[in-house]
Chain A
Amino acid sequence: MHISIAKDFSDVPWGRFPSDGDFCGQNFRELFLVPALKNHDSVTVDLDGVEGLGSSFLDEAFGGLIRKGHASEADLGAKLTVTTSQPEYEMYLDLVRRYIRQAQEEADRELVRV
């Protein structure tokens, strides 16, 4: 399953929550990522063509998958690939990995507390 943020969602993704706008991280997660991960073994998210990305969008979309209990870091490692052919956007790939890892660490800490 291939998802292009620019073509399938918006070329100007913006904000974290629906109160920030329709093309926010939460909407991308719930409308695109969650169904795709549920129904497909392999999901590729393509960042090409977007007019810049906010870390808040990326954190909500990808880190939110773990915080909301839709997947674990291991699940995402096996199923999810984030790509770009634009060299200047490669830093976003590192950020996505960082947010997934941080969300998993938070989830693990919560588990220990419970």
Chain B
Amino acid sequence: MLDYLRQISPALISLLIGGYWLNRFFVARGNLAALIERICDLLDHLRQDCSEYWSVPHTAEDDAEHGVLEAKIKGQVVLINSLVRLVGDKRRHIPEVVPALILDLVDACTGGDFETKGRKADKLRLMRIVSLSSKIAVELQRLKLWAGVWPDVIGWGTQKIGNLFKKILGHGDHT
């Protein structure tokens, strides 16, 4: 019996370690997916609040209501930015375009005549907000679906192998 256990113990240990890492991998992947879903929900809310805010002009009667919307919009952009940073920390890589899109989104949501008395409706700005928030959602969904991961890994690997061949063939490293 002891001999039998001794024989199978390496396989058992490997199985346990493998199972642990596999479980860790899927849990982490699930958490990341949940986080991305949360950001996409927030982007939806932001789009709705911005639609309410930028599609109508400011009037004295709506002052209090617009004040609430302004506070909500400012809070949401900070929260979205913080959560996207968190995705970056977890995945250690988010497409470079995302931080730039977020900056554009903050500028579009809270720029121009934001918090200005007598503000006019700005449908062009609203269109920009919708377009930017959709682009961010798509980039984040791409991460969730792994579409952004394997091309990166394959691209990186292909480049390294290509460089190695160039070195061997004497063409130098062009990275």
Contacts and interface: CB of A to CB of B under 8 A. Distances in A.
B and A form one assembly = yes
Interface of B: 70-71, 74-75, 78, 81-82, 85, 99, 102-103, 106-107, 109-118
Contacts of A15: 115-117
A19 to B, nearest CB: 5
B106 A91 contact: yes
Main SS at interface, chain B: helix
Interface of A: 14-17, 19-20, 52-57, 59, 87-89, 91, 94-95, 98
Contacts, number: 60
B85 A16 contact: no
Contact of B114 (A17, A55, A91): A55
Main SS at interface, chain A: helix
B103 A56 contact: no
A102 to B, nearest CB: 10
Contacts of A57: 115
A33 to B, nearest CB: 19
